Amino acid sequence: MTRILFIHNTVMWYRIPFFSALADIYSVKYLFNHPNISQTLYGVETTPEIEGMDGVDYQIMSNHLGIAWGLIKKAWGDYDILVGGSWDSIPEIVESIYYLTVAWLRRKPIILWREDWAWEDTSLKSKLIKPLIKWMVRTSHSIVVPGSKHREYFLQLGSDPKKIFLMPNVSNQTGQKDDPEKAAYLRRKMGLENKKIVMYVGRLIKRKGVQYLLQALEKIKTENVMLLILGDGECEDELKSMVKELGLADKVIFTGNIAQEELVSYYIMSDLVMVPSITHGIGDPWVLVLNEAMYFKNPVIATDAVGAASDMIDAGKNGFIVPEKDSPALAHAMDKILEDDGLRLKMGQKSCEIINDQFRYTNMVEGFKKAVDYSLNNK
């Protein structure tokens, strides 16, 4: 059985089915070297015992001065393939340079798993680390990416197209029950029986572009629309002030963070889900809210700053892609869906079809398997 040393920053609920499925196929040792990231980004604590990872060989690495020094020993261990490589932070860069160099010296195949894409990033950080990224691309035997925009990015960096494999991101609320009655109760409880519900799910930070969604809400023609904003973040107070300034107090509800197991009811009662991200230095790498919204038969509208948009949205069939920072375009797309119930229901059904055909965990595992086979045959 192929032995894989799999280095990843943290483990999130939507990755657990994927990690577990790989462990049924290969002899995998998972090393989660920066578990605090899940707490920082999503408020989810990574505990030593991870629910759903029973029987899977994994280790939560301890950090000292921000670096998981235990990776040094592990890089010299017994494995056939190493999965890793990150440039998201200085500690991860330091770690990656070390363990990728060790794997290269030992002639161990390397698989790079990244979600970067080709939005033009002109920041100083991007310019400084670009030579390092190109080195990682050259050193790797294969690269797995979630979508077409991500593939284009690595082609631009000089990767051989034969060694790039699509491994679509998946977050289908696995294990959560589809409970329409609970969703209907929630709608009644919130006083939304006769409302058309538009929903945003995510952090309230600049990059998410919620301010443009509020501007669009002010411009729409459709009546009886309520916007639910699920999440919190550094921009929450600013956005609440904006709601008052725009006279939208009776059209917007801030719910705060919603527990993952409760999100299903919100998705079921929603009529439309919005992903209004902006670049703000970089585009949004993927946005798994699209997966979840589509799984529960929601039409979706996203901006072109969303990495997943071109792969998940069939324009005019299950939603629309609009230019970033374009509130009038957001408003026009919202009206087009909300004013036509037949179109809205048809789009929701198409969303579900796309998810169940192309974005399942079996698709994700198959993409990874192709990368493993190519790496072993071309080492």
Q: What's the pLDDT score for residue 37?
A: 72
Q: What's the pLDDT score for residue 237?
A: 97
Give the mean model confidence (pLDDT) for residues 86-90.
92
Per-residue pLDDT at 42 exceeds 90: no
Per-residue pLDDT at 174 exceeds 70: no
Q: What confidence tier does 355 reach under pLDDT thresholds 50, 70, 90?
A: very high
What are the tokens at 307? 């990495």
What are the tokens at 8? 């990843």
Burial class (CB in 10 A: 0-12, 13-18, 19+), 376: middle
pLDDT digits 0-9 by tens, 262-303: 899 999 999 999 999 998 766 789 999 999 999 999 999 999
pLDDT digits 0-9 by tens, 225-240: 999 999 999 999 999 9
Per-residue pLDDT at 33 exceeds 60: yes
Q: What's the pLDDT score for residue 79?
A: 97
Q: What is the mean pLDDT of the chain?
A: 93
Highest mean pLDDT among 65-69, 183-187, 284-288, 336-340: 336-340
Per-residue pLDDT at 325 exceeds 80: yes
Q: What is the pTM of this model?
A: 0.92
Per-residue pLDDT at 175 exceeds 60: no
Per-residue pLDDT at 105 exceeds 80: yes
**Higher pLDDT residue, 28 or 66?**
28
Listed in sequence order, the residues at least 6 apart from 6 whose beta carbon sits closer than 8 Å to its beta carbon are 19, 22, 28, 29, 30, 31, 83, 84
Which domains are assigned to the chain? 3-170+360-377 (3.40.50.2000), 180-358 (3.40.50.2000)
Q: What's the pLDDT score for residue 120?
A: 61
Listed in sequence order, the residues at least 6 apart from 81 whose beta carbon sits closer than 8 Å to its beta carbon are 2, 3, 4, 5, 108, 109, 110, 111, 372, 375, 376
Percent of the chain with pLDDT over 90: 83
pLDDT digits 0-9 by tens, 202-233: 999 999 999 999 999 999 999 999 999 999 99
Q: What confidence tier does 43 reach under pLDDT thresholds 50, 70, 90?
A: low
pLDDT digits 0-9 by tens, 138-163: 999 999 999 999 999 999 999 999 99
Q: What's the pLDDT score for residue 128?
A: 83
Listed in sequence order, the residues at least 6 apart from 377 whose beta carbon sits closer than 8 Å to its beta carbon are none
What are the tokens at 249? 């107090």
Q: What confidence tier does 103 reach under pLDDT thresholds 50, 70, 90?
A: very high
Contact 172, 292 (CB under 8 A): yes
